[in-house]
Structure 1
Amino acid sequence: MEKMEEIEGSIADLRTTFRSRKTTSVAWRKNQLRGLIELVQDNEQKIAKALYQDLGKHPAEVYRDEIGIVKKSANHALSCVEKWMAPKKNRLPLLYFPASAQVLSEPLGVVLIFASWNFPISLALDPLIGAIAAGNTVLLKPSDLAPECAAFLQETIPLYLDCNAIKVINGGADVGEKLLQQKWDKIFFTGSTRVGRLVMTAAAKHLTPVTLELGGKCPAVVDTLFSLSDIKVMAKRIVGGKWAACNGQICIGVDYVLVEKKFASTLVDSLKRTIKKFFGESPKDSNSLSRIVNKNHFDRLSKLFKEPRVAASIVHGGSSNEENLFIEPTILLDPPLDSEIMTEEIFGPLLPIITLNNIQESIEFVNSRPKPLVIYAFTKDETFKREILSETSSGSVVFNDTVVQYAADVLPFGGVGQSGLGRYHGKYSFDNFSHEKPVMQRSFFLEMEPRYPPWNDFKINFFRFAYRFDYFNLLLLLLGLKK
């Protein structure tokens, strides 16, 4: 009851603030973006400590994936927000003369943001940047699975941002359910497909628009047209995209690899060498591997690779330590396709490699499964690239690298189908939290009488010309020079 009162009171404050219209000014938006930049700059040590306590992340990983990416995104928005806010003039057809048109971007209102636990700082603050830049008021719900980061956000955000316009509420699933019972002008959710369905169902009751950043099984398709130096680079990029970011607990991480049988042993050997280079002879002692977030996820992952049929396919790794929530980087070669490790998103340090007779079969393999958030394809074959682009559907496609697309502000980030709904990053974040309102102005000069009854053949011909955009003949028709 007490938490519900806090929620309702917070929403009431946010609506009052939004109605005051202060969040629509460019000055307010810029001040909040500057405040966000100061927040991460002033608190690098605290953020690093919280992320180590929650996930065992190394400071380098923290800066790359959390602090640095938030600073970059906020600085980008700060430098562009006036341009994004500016009305956009649109040319109208001659048929409307004399008239003018423009599109105004206006904030949606009071926004609810659900953050995820795997990147608990950046996945909270990055969407917040877009919501602020667009002029909304925001209630942020951090993930309770990263409690130190959630506490940091709740304690620190009010010190740097407008506490009447941006609020943080912590809690578990029960708090999330209470929040979803309320009416919002937009809900932004990052998390699992299962919970995403619940969010969308709750939002439908109020016809609330949603953005769902979900996940899926992202494949890496590996062609065989590589030199030895290319293979080394490819292995680094696959290992980096699988284990060097939250130890595989990442929605855009490589979930499985597709490769021709004849190239499989070469690939496995190269991946093994790279894992050893990155994490040493004893990965459990490495400070460069994040730990599994909690006991529930550890048990889920253990079940995936310890099933007897699956365990028989392990060609590297396979050790684990429940006390330390550690699972070694593990490679599996051709696990059963009907096993859970190949039907569910892994979200952990397990990498199945599936062999094919011909790499062209990878397209059918990917298409036989739900649309992935990303397809990674390592190939120099331009024809094969075109086939991937034209014959598959995914949130995005990256050729010859992994995960780097996430940091590009000029590219939209989002899924398709079960991997997500909506997109954000850079200008796309601003658009995500805005309504584009068209505005047309007309003069009282030159009334076009054929648009009104009573109807006749002349007016039918007028409509025919008008909808064909044949403006020259339409003008002749109106002047009586054409029948």
Structure 2
Amino acid sequence: MANHIAPVVNLNSESTSSNGAEEEQRSEQVSSQNSSNADTEITRLKTKLDEYFYTGATKAASWRIRQLKSLLSMLQKEEKQFAQALHSDLGKSPEEAFFSEIGFLTKEIKSFIKKTEKWMKPITKSTPLLAFPAKSMTKAEPLGTCLIIGAWNYPLMLCLSPVIAAISAGNCVILKPSEKSPATSALLAKMLPQYLDMNAFGVIEGAVQETTDLLALPFDKIFYTGGEKVGKIVMRAAANNLTPVTLELGGKSPCIIDKNIDLNTAIKRIVWGKLMNVGQTCVCPDYLLVHHSNLDNVLEKIKQVIVKQYKKAPKQNRFYGRVIDSDNVRRLAGYLEGQEVVYGGEYSAEERYFAPTVVLNPDPDSDLMQEEIFGPIIPILSFNGRSDMLQFIKQRAKPLAAYAFTEDKEFEDKFIDTISAGSMCINDISMFMANEELPFGGVGTSGMGSYHGKYGFDAFSHQKSIMRRSFSFENSFRYMPLNSIKMWVLRRFL
């Protein structure tokens, strides 16, 4: 454990929403702020981290491994406190807190500790004959001081997972947790300084103004997780300083349920993936597409499985969490207006509770089918055939994830080739997240760039090209003046 205390700025601004329809309100607030002069305290922190980065201390493998081990120690020693914070913010049980956030992070850190030194080594590349004798290689170098803006739906994992990658790549980091998950944000601000090198890290708590002040500064990388509207603001701010960005956004992830499959297993997996974190998961299935002949079976199975996994009274079930705030409960309730609710629909804004809810054949132009739901509502749309399902998906924005439950290899191949999505999973939900060998990221409006495992290391690195040539075997073919013999040689070898 480091003996230093990392700088923390706790500015206690009012919380504002950052999801669904409220994202627009937030985006207007952020864009309307005067970002020409960033907060002085934030600027001082950024300058301090820049100066430390230029000492070269963070480039050493020993420094990176030490920080990763300290982060792992924090998660292991303070697991109970982080579980309590996640319960306060999202109603997560200790088991879900470990399964979906703490355990995911500890596994990831252990992998980075094992592989960081390997990833740091130069990679030899082939050299063209014209440049012989020479040696070519690429070497990953850290970018500098990076800004990481976390999200509230998985407020621990979505903050620390990119931090892990940034540390492994040798960067300094300013972390901005979401103000909508105040318990987790405050605990990160308290704990990170006790475990990480104070010279290389900082935590900024706050809301719109603090985010605006941060975005006005010339970072070497910005990593943002959140909604599309604020993502555009982040990208515009980054453009002012030509700062590279990774945007992990969202979208309406479709899920096709084909005929002639193991429906019992399929529905168990779908309900698990959809209702984890009460639907506040960017890669959960946003809506289901079902052949009309299979509709009654699917509806009945979904109702049965919801009861089996969460009992008849989910409100009293400790494994069924809460919506992040009352405003989002009311947002979800608004999506049900004018819809055919065939199961659930109960909610309490005061208790942040929204029941598992099934909606049948919603209007494709309704808010329910236009906005990312980010809640426990399951819209089911019936179709006459597979081609209609694929066409429906293709006509909409590219999603962060896409799912198909099918035993037909020909249709599986067509689904994979036809649909563009950040990630795909056949016959399960979200399980690609467990494989660090697969990059995670969006496409189109669902995001840009990717991370997890080596892809995260690369996201926070610059691959520097290097060629070392010998003074031996000098030739004059490339030097002026050029003549017919030289041109014959050049044409032959270029």
2:335 to 301, 304, 310: 304
Does 2:289 match 1:254?
no
Q: Deviations over 1:346-393 (max 9, x none)?
A: 111111111110023222111100101111110111111111121221
Q: Cα 1:2–1:165, aligned 2, differ >3 Å: closer, same or farther? A: closer
Does 2:376 match 1:344?
no
Indicate the RMSD between aligned Cα atoms, in angstroms.
Answer: 1.3
Partner of 1:27: 62
Gaps of 5+ in 2: 1-8, 12-38
Larger of the two Rg values belongs to structure: 1
Does 2:102 match 1:88?
no
Deviation at 1:97, TM superposition (A): 1.2
2:255 to 212, 220, 223: 220
Give the aligned residue type for 2:367: E
Residues 129, 493 of structure 2: 8 Å contact kept: no
Deviation at 1:450, TM superposition (A): 2.5
Partner of 2:20: none
Give the aligned residue type for 2:322: R
Partner of 2:81: 46
2:413 to 386, 390, 394: 386
Shifted more, 320-329 versus 441-450: the winner is: 441-450
Does 2:269 match 1:237?
yes
Deviation at 1:424, TM superposition (A): 0.3
Does 2:140 match 1:113?
no
2:221 to 178, 183, 186: 186
What secondary structure sits across from 1:169 in the alignment?
A: strand
Partner of 2:96: 61
Partner of 1:277: 308
Q: Deviations over 1:24-62 (max 9, x none)?
A: 001100000000100100011101111111111111110
What secondary structure sits across from 2:219 in the alignment?
A: coil
Partner of 1:70: 105
Does 2:430 match 1:423?
no
Deviation at 1:344, TM superposition (A): 1.0
TM-score of the superposed pair, with normalisation by structure 1? 0.93
Does 2:211 match 1:211?
no
Give the aligned residue type for 2:419: T
Whole-Å separation in 1 of the counterparts to 2:190 and 2:345: 40
Whole-Å separation in 1 of the counterparts to 2:352 and 2:363: 26
Give the aligned residue type for 2:306: I
Whole-Å separation in 2 of the counterparts to 1:409 and 1:440: 31
Deviation at 1:87, TM superposition (A): 0.9
Whole-Å separation in 1 of the counterparts to 2:49 and 2:385: 57
Give the aligned residue type for 2:429: T
What secondary structure sits across from 2:75 in the alignment?
A: helix
Q: Percent identity?
A: 42
Whole-Å separation in 1 of the counterparts to 2:316 and 2:296: 27
Whole-Å separation in 2 of the counterparts to 1:144 and 1:55: 13
What secondary structure sits across from 2:232 in the alignment?
A: helix
Give the aligned residue type for 1:96: A
Partner of 2:196: 161
Deviation at 1:117, TM superposition (A): 0.3
Does 2:363 match 1:331?
no
Whole-Å separation in 2 of the counterparts to 1:463 and 1:256: 59
Gaps of 5+ in 1: 468-483
Deviation at 1:337, TM superposition (A): 0.8
Give the aligned residue type for 1:237: R
Partner of 1:410: 437
Partner of 2:18: none
Whole-Å separation in 2 of the counterparts to 1:384 and 1:138: 45
Q: Deviations over 1:109-135 (max 9, x none)?
A: 000000000111111111000000000
Partner of 1:18: 53
Partner of 1:472: none
Partner of 1:470: none
Deviation at 1:70, TM superposition (A): 0.7
Deviation at 1:333, TM superposition (A): 1.1
What secondary structure sits across from 2:363 in the alignment?
A: coil
Whole-Å separation in 1 of the counterparts to 2:265 and 2:475: 66
Partner of 1:139: 174
Partner of 2:36: none
Does 2:232 match 1:197?
yes
Deviation at 1:452, TM superposition (A): 2.5
Deviation at 1:2, TM superposition (A): 10
1:286 to 283, 307, 317: 317
Deviation at 1:259, TM superposition (A): 1.1
Whole-Å separation in 2 of the counterparts to 1:130 and 1:157: 16
Deviation at 1:290, TM superposition (A): 1.3
TM-score of the superposed pair, with normalisation by structure 2? 0.91
What secondary structure sits across from 1:138 in the alignment?
A: strand
Partner of 2:295: 264
Q: Deviations over 1:71-106 (max 9, x none)?
A: 011000000011010111112122221100111100
Shifted more, 357-366 versus 427-436: the winner is: 357-366
Partner of 2:30: none
**Total equivalences in the alignment:** 459
What secondary structure sits across from 1:120 in the alignment?
A: coil
Give the aligned residue type for 1:254: P
